[in-house]
Amino acid sequence: MHYTGMRTAEEALDRLCNAEARVSSHYTIDEDGTIYRHVAEAYRAFHAGISYWAGETDINGRSIGIEIVNPGHEFGYRAFPDIQIEAVIALSKEILGRHPIRRERVIGHSDVAPARKTDPGELFPWQQLAGEGIGLWPARSDRAPSISFDEALCRYGYGIAPDGHATLEQTITAFQRHFRPSKIDGLVDAECERVLAELLAVIPDGSADQAHQ
């Protein structure tokens, strides 16, 4: 999931359809819910750039990119309209119906590229999507990790240098932007630990029995 980060939808669509720009995505969803298909799902689109997730660095070659029209942090970041999110949910369900994508692998650009990207950002309604079976959202509990926070981040899928391309602080910030948007400061606190422990407890490779005390 991305936001376009450009002033208008027209600018974003022109860029995504310009071969010289060397950037593309499989889909773009406008603020009015209109869905544009640019690249067939069987083909690579160049939307992720230098990135890392769960040991993989060729994210473009193993993902489906959805650009969501929003001016982004540079040009006046704003909430995503309901009709746009309804289209995101509908399209995502169709994609998940066609491909065996695990829920924790529905992620944002900032998750795979914490050193470079902030999209789709803290206003993106990840919790709403998770309620529709798209991605994960942590339950409320008293879980706490029994491993270090950086190890837990890597176990979930994040990349921290030298394996990934981001510092620990940048990775924590990306994690907060996705899963704890109420406070984004790059610092680990008890709530971050609880949230990550809950996420690890429900993923197949999360070693749930080690993720809590």
| pLDDT digit string, tens, across residues 114-134 | 999 999 999 999 999 999 999
Known catalytic residue: 86? Answer: no
Give the number of other CB atoms < 10 A from CB of residue 118: 21
Q: What does the alpha-carbon distance between residue 178 and residue 188 come to, in Å, rounded to a whole number? A: 14
Q: How far is CA 57 from the centre of its chain?
A: 15
Give the number of other CB atoms < 10 A from CB of residue 41: 14
pLDDT at 164: 85
Catalytic residue among 11, 67, 94, 132: 67
What structural domains and CATH numbers belong to the chain? 1-121 (3.40.80.10), 138-213 (1.10.101.10)
Give the rounded percent of residues in the chain with a pLDDT score beyond 70.
96
Write down the pTM of the prediction: 0.93
Tokens representing 52?
């890392």
pLDDT at 182: 97
Mean pLDDT, rounded, for 59-78: 98
